[in-house]
Chain A
Amino acid sequence: MTTSLREPREIVREEPLMQRPILEALADGPLTVPAIAERIGHPAREVVFWVMGMRRFGHVVELPEADDDGYFLYEAFDKGDAS
């Protein structure tokens, strides 16, 4: 259960900082948000902000289908494949 939430502005501000740990977590393959959260030791709610920001700015991309629990898998976007 959530006891206190950090303010979105504070979480969002950390998006540039969190790119590297998230990409490192994805180095071995795609992960769901809860799995990334577990790997990097941050709440899933905060990871949603960071992953969606990274998705927006071209660092990660989702796989086409959600898993049986309703979670999408996200993988590092290989910019070398962008062309």
Chain B
Amino acid sequence: MKYDVMVVGSGIAGMESSIKLGDMGYKVLLVEKEASVGGRMILLSKVFPTLDCASCISGPKMSSTINHPNVHTMTYAEVEQIRRGEDGRFTAAVKQKSTFVDWAACTGCSDCQMACTVAVPDQFNADLVPRHAAYIPFPQAVPKKAVIERAGTSPCIASCPAGIKAHGYVSLIRSGKYEEAFQLVLEATPLVGTLGRACYAPCESECTRSLLEGTIPIRRLKRFVADLHYGDGRGPGVDVAEANGFKVAIVGTGPAGLTAAWQLARAGYQVTMFDSAAKAGGFLRHAIPQYRLPHDVVDQDVANVTAIGVEIRTNHAVHDLEALKAEGYDAVLVATGTPRSMALGVPGQDATGVHTGLKFLRRVSEDDLPSIAGKRVVVVGGGNVAMDAARTARRLGSADVRVAYRRGREEMPAHSVEVDEAEMEGVAFEFLVAPVEVLSDASGAVTGLRCQRMRLGEADASGRRRPEPVPGSDFVLECEVVVSAVGMEPDDEPYEKVTGDARGHRIKVDPLTLQSDVDYIFAAGDVETGASDITHAVGHGRRAAYMIDAWLHGRELAGFPLFDDPLGVVDHESVLARQQSYTHRAPVRPGTQHSANPVGFDELEPAMTEAEALAGSGSCLDCGVCSECQECVRACPADAIKLDMHDHQVEVEVGAVVVSTGYKLFAADLKPEYGYGQYPNVITGMQMDRLLAPTRPFNTILRPGDGKVPDRIAYISCTGSRDKQVGNPLCSKLCCMYSIKQNQLIMGSLPLADVTMHYMDMRAAGKRYDEFYEQAKDMGATYIKGRVSKVTELENGDLRLRYEDIENGGDIVEAEYDLVVLAVGIQPNRDVERLFTGEKLRLDEYYYVAEPSEELEPGQTTIPGVFVAGTAAGAKDIVDSILHAGAAVAQVAAHLTQSEISEVVPV
């Protein structure tokens, strides 16, 4: 894209420059980092000395800017770099930030921001009130379009292999939207109750709050909403698309299969699931003990699937995938998991009393295991199945349960919580021990397990140190029961001859598309990945459903955007850097009671109370800002919310650049003696301007400390100006006048209020400025010459000022006020320093953009073709900013004419 001029910043100077250059016939690109043009002026109450409404003046200017035929405006965009070429023209990289809203469709109705569940300080109201992550900058915004503020994907969401929007349901719960939270999880998977209990919660490991006092209880919050939903006896309550005529067979009813069935059935597919077991659920029912995951919870989750029309055929093993195709299924999904336990591989492994871990757990789940009460049990293995088997054995009355594992505790693949809880329940551990032989008596019954000691050698391919036997270290663990939990693998009987096997008898499919070489056969879950966990299986089920849908509708099987094209994850440090301090919040812990002699299979972990749910969810730090709760998506009548948008970069070529990046306000907390940030009733001049504006954040002028209408209001001038202590010796030029303006407006709004200004010098040099000052005095404002040395807060929130009263003898005086306004000065916006590459835009000794010939060539900078307009070059009021913009425009025109690098002939 080529333009004659690029203007950076759309405050009053930027808008004025753009309009005037556009009027002259130049093609202008105006780049603004916020979502609306207008800069700070549009946020002011009125302007001095005329007391004209700021928005009445600025509004039309904003409209003219955005609608000017020669001005192209990029809002919510940032100039990343500008480089001058040998021909004198400039190339610039401009980042168009994602608004996550289709502005062509957005009507500016505000429904999204009303529905949003994330609150952040409103920078357009000087942080006095919340705005939401979905927001329209301010009522007079031009363009008046919504933006969703997203810093990235929240770590809890990014870490979830199931793609569940944890941040979203947490923010819904704290907003009291429990059913909406349940539905948000249900969007991903029908297994809400299951995941609320049996998930290992990688989200909690990544929770930024864990770097403070502890993670928020994300998993248990999910259980909380599941318990509420199921407690009401409701069905899933979701919409199902009209039948699309396609039939899909899913073999296996574990988490991958159920999730895929859920997604496909909702999309209009006729889905039939097959399982060789008598009840659906796969490992959820047969491998996870009920003290962790009760069967009625699995039943409730499975019922979600059948409620939307999925047929589940149990006691129905599938041996022939091709036969399913012949029966009329358009696609077949293999989701059979890893049902085969690996054998111990030692002599005696077939003795009576030796079980594989999966069969042991399954028989217990089906109440089919002969009693092991009083028997000694050795569980071989270090994974989660081993832990489940050991803890189950404890509940069955065994005399003693030992886990024998060939590596050390640190190398155990089981989740650390499982290991800890097994220990609490009286399970003993034998580390660095490997089985050598199962010993048995004459009847063939187990009498012991001969083992040998191991030591750790070099790391193997998995990165874990390889266990090596210690010669001569054999010993016997006496026992009557041995449970082998040394590994699991798929049963490849249905697919081996159709799709072929990958490593470890897994089905051979493309890992991205999950499609096999037989195009109608897809796979998901452990049968493709090997033994993993529920969340990975759920994620796989979602991917498989997406791919089957794409394939059956003739779409390209490219990536799954949910997992393959996400917004980058927010890093913890940047989240924590948003605040200087954090209040301690006690983590919400489950309070599970573990017995060293556990009895029965009742669910161990207690349900969460509503108070705990609110306390837990209320601790969320909103890492990504937007929580992806989808409330805006539901609320938007124009279907304009597009959370999958990405930033993009635009390269432009221009003949000249106008820098109109404005100023920054002095950070008032750098004058601690005035109490800003410590005392709530000390505010800045900008905050008072917002309180005075028609679009004010409060219902009137109130003090922020308690909402009281203030009677006695003090101003302290030169806060951060003419002050070498804070490194700014310059006068900000406009603080005296904006204070006087506010004095008058306050007296208009609060006729009974006393307004006093403590000043060093009154600088009212401008047309009608001094008259304006006199007018304020005539209205009743008091002006006291002398520096305020200290502000102290009183018990009731009032403020005591200690100051020197120069014109009345120079005494040190104290006075009390309801509200103190700091007339903060302005400072250079040093963001401008990073704009240019190749050559440096020189700044003056105060870090404003330098104008080498300020008196004769105002607006010119040290880079030919780069001009400065407004307060980027130094403190100016609005009038002077407009004048300065006019000068910059003239310089631009002269430059383009002289250098003949304009793309157009000026009119």
A residues within 8 Å of B by Cβ? 1-2, 4-10, 12-17, 19-20, 32-34, 37, 44-45, 47-53, 55-58, 62, 66, 69-72
B618 at the interface (CB under 8 A from A): yes
For B171, the chain A residues whose CB sits under 8 A away are: 16
For B130, the chain A residues whose CB sits under 8 A away are: 12, 15, 49-50, 52-53, 56
- Contact (Cβ within 8 A) B697 A5: no
For A13, the chain B residues whose CB sits under 8 A away are: 118-120, 620-622
Instruction: Give min CB distance, B402 to chain A, whole Å.
Output: 47
- Contact (Cβ within 8 A) B580 A44: no
For A2, the chain B residues whose CB sits under 8 A away are: 678-680, 705, 793, 797
The stretch of B458-466, B707-715, B759-767, B807-815 in contact with A is B707-715
B128 at the interface (CB under 8 A from A): yes
For B702, the chain A residues whose CB sits under 8 A away are: 48, 72
Quick one: which of A12, A14, A33, A37 contacts B618, CB cutoff 8 A? A14
B174 at the interface (CB under 8 A from A): yes
For A55, the chain B residues whose CB sits under 8 A away are: 698-699
A61 — nearest CB in chain B belongs to which residue?
A: B699
- Contact (Cβ within 8 A) B794 A1: yes
- Contact (Cβ within 8 A) B579 A44: no
For A47, the chain B residues whose CB sits under 8 A away are: 707
For A48, the chain B residues whose CB sits under 8 A away are: 680, 698, 702, 704-707
Given A2-B680, A45-B680; A12-B708 close (CB under 8 Å): no
For B698, the chain A residues whose CB sits under 8 A away are: 48, 52, 55
For the residues of A in contact with B, the DSSP-based class is helix
A3 — nearest CB in chain B belongs to which residue?
A: B678
Count class of interface residues, chain B = 35 or more
User: Which residue, B128, B707, B793, has most C-beta atoms of chain A within 10 A?
Assistant: B707
- Contact (Cβ within 8 A) B678 A45: no
For A8, the chain B residues whose CB sits under 8 A away are: 121, 127
Quick one: which of A34, A52, A53 contacts B706, CB cutoff 8 A? A34
For B119, the chain A residues whose CB sits under 8 A away are: 12-16, 53
B246-282 interface mask toward A, CB cutoff 8 Å, 1 = contact, 0 = none? 0000000000000000000000000000000000000
- Contact (Cβ within 8 A) A52 B583: no
For B132, the chain A residues whose CB sits under 8 A away are: 57
Q: How far is the CA of A75 from the CA of B20 in the complex (A)?
A: 49
Instruction: Give min CB distance, B150 to chain A, whole Å.
Output: 16
Of the A-B pairs whose beta carbons lie under 8 Å apart in the complex, a sample of 17, sorted by A's number, is A2-B797, A4-B678, A5-B678, A8-B121, A13-B620, A17-B175, A19-B175, A34-B707, A44-B707, A47-B707, A48-B707, A49-B129, A51-B707, A53-B119, A53-B129, A56-B130, A70-B709
Q: How far is the CA of A72 from the CA of B708 in the complex (A)?
A: 7
- Contact (Cβ within 8 A) A71 B707: yes
For B711, the chain A residues whose CB sits under 8 A away are: 70
- Contact (Cβ within 8 A) B129 A52: yes
- Contact (Cβ within 8 A) A17 B174: yes
Q: How far is the CA of A58 from the CA of B113 in the complex (A)?
A: 11
Identify the 8 closest CB pairs spanning chains A and B, nearest first.
Answer: A33-B707, A53-B130, A44-B706, A15-B119, A70-B709, A16-B175, A45-B680, A17-B618
Instruction: Give min CB distance, A68 to chain B, whole Å.
Output: 11
For the A-B complex with A2-B793, A44-B705, A44-B706 known, give 15 more contacts whose Cβ atoms are closer than 8 Å: A5-B678, A13-B120, A14-B119, A37-B706, A44-B707, A45-B704, A49-B129, A51-B707, A52-B698, A53-B130, A58-B114, A62-B699, A70-B709, A72-B702, A72-B709
Q: How far is the CA of A32 from the CA of B438 in the complex (A)?
A: 77
B349 at the interface (CB under 8 A from A): no
B651-689 interface mask toward A, CB cutoff 8 Å, 1 = contact, 0 = none? 000000000000000000000000001111000000000
B581 at the interface (CB under 8 A from A): yes
Q: How far is the CA of A59 from the CA of B83 in the complex (A)?
A: 51
Given A6-B583, A19-B176, A52-B129; A33-B114 close (CB under 8 Å): no
For A62, the chain B residues whose CB sits under 8 A away are: 699
For A9, the chain B residues whose CB sits under 8 A away are: 120-121, 578-579
Instruction: Give min CB distance, B629 to chain A, whole Å.
Output: 10
- Contact (Cβ within 8 A) B706 A57: no
For B580, the chain A residues whose CB sits under 8 A away are: 7
Q: How far is the CA of A56 from the CA of B136 in the complex (A)?
A: 13
- Contact (Cβ within 8 A) B699 A5: no
Instruction: Give min CB distance, A45 to chain B, whole Å.
Output: 4
Instruction: Give min CB distance, B191 to chain A, whole Å.
Output: 27
Q: How far is the CA of A19 from the CA of B117 in the complex (A)?
A: 11
Instruction: Give min CB distance, B642 to chain A, whole Å.
Output: 23
B614-650 interface mask toward A, CB cutoff 8 Å, 1 = contact, 0 = none? 1001101110000000000000000000000000000
Given A5-B680, A8-B127; A71-B708 close (CB under 8 Å): yes
Q: How far is the CA of A33 from the CA of B680 in the complex (A)?
A: 14
For B706, the chain A residues whose CB sits under 8 A away are: 33-34, 37, 44-45, 48, 71
For B794, the chain A residues whose CB sits under 8 A away are: 1
B128 — nearest CB in chain A belongs to which residue?
A: A52
Quick one: which of B121, B617, B704, B705 contacts A17, CB cutoff 8 A? B617
Q: How far is the CA of A50 from the CA of B708 in the complex (A)?
A: 15
- Contact (Cβ within 8 A) A7 B680: no
- Contact (Cβ within 8 A) A70 B708: yes
Q: How far is the CA of A55 from the CA of B709 in the complex (A)?
A: 17
Q: How far is the CA of A49 from the CA of B700 in the complex (A)?
A: 14
Q: How far is the CA of A33 from the CA of B447 in the complex (A)?
A: 75
For B831, the chain A residues whose CB sits under 8 A away are: none
Q: How far is the CA of A12 from the CA of B702 in the complex (A)?
A: 18
Q: How far is the CA of A12 from the CA of B625 in the complex (A)?
A: 13
- Contact (Cβ within 8 A) A10 B176: no
Instruction: Give min CB distance, A65 to chain B, whole Å.
Output: 10
Q: How far is the CA of A23 from the CA of B699 in the complex (A)?
A: 18
B176 — nearest CB in chain A belongs to which residue?
A: A20
Quick one: which of A52, A58, A66 contacts B697, CB cutoff 8 A? A52
- Contact (Cβ within 8 A) A12 B704: no
Quick one: which of A16, A33, A56, A66 contacts B174, CB cutoff 8 A? A16
Q: How far is the CA of A4 from the CA of B708 in the complex (A)?
A: 20
B795 at the interface (CB under 8 A from A): yes
Q: How far is the CA of A76 from the CA of B700 in the complex (A)?
A: 18
Instruction: Give min CB distance, B626 to chain A, whole Å.
Output: 13
For B578, the chain A residues whose CB sits under 8 A away are: 9
Q: How far is the CA of A57 from the CA of B116 in the complex (A)?
A: 10
Instruction: Give min CB distance, A44 to chain B, whole Å.
Output: 4
Instruction: Give min CB distance, A69 to chain B, whole Å.
Output: 7
A66 — nearest CB in chain B belongs to which residue?
A: B709
B810-854 interface mask toward A, CB cutoff 8 Å, 1 = contact, 0 = none? 000000000000000000000000000000000000000000000
Instruction: Give min CB distance, A77 to chain B, whole Å.
Output: 12
- Contact (Cβ within 8 A) B697 A56: yes
User: Which residue, A16, A32, A55, has most C-beta atoms of chain B within 10 A?
Assistant: A16
B113 — nearest CB in chain A belongs to which residue?
A: A57
- Contact (Cβ within 8 A) B708 A10: no
Q: How far is the CA of A44 from the CA of B795 in the complex (A)?
A: 13
For A15, the chain B residues whose CB sits under 8 A away are: 119, 130
A20 — nearest CB in chain B belongs to which residue?
A: B176
Q: How far is the CA of A72 from the CA of B711 in the complex (A)?
A: 14
Given A7-B579, A19-B175, A45-B680; A32-B707 close (CB under 8 Å): yes
Quick one: which of B127, B129, B677, B708 contacts A69, CB cutoff 8 A? B708
For B622, the chain A residues whose CB sits under 8 A away are: 13
Instruction: Give min CB distance, A15 to chain B, whole Å.
Output: 4
Quick one: which of B127, B579, B704, B705 contacts A10, CB cutoff 8 A? B579
User: Which residue, A55, A56, A69, has most C-beta atoms of chain B within 10 A?
Assistant: A56
- Contact (Cβ within 8 A) A16 B679: no
For B797, the chain A residues whose CB sits under 8 A away are: 2, 44
Q: How far is the CA of A45 from the CA of B679 in the complex (A)?
A: 10
Q: How far is the CA of A66 from the CA of B698 in the complex (A)?
A: 13
- Contact (Cβ within 8 A) B679 A12: no
- Contact (Cβ within 8 A) B118 A16: yes
For A14, the chain B residues whose CB sits under 8 A away are: 119, 618
Q: How far is the CA of A50 from the CA of B175 in the complex (A)?
A: 13
Instruction: Give min CB distance, A7 to chain B, whole Å.
Output: 5
For A33, the chain B residues whose CB sits under 8 A away are: 706-708
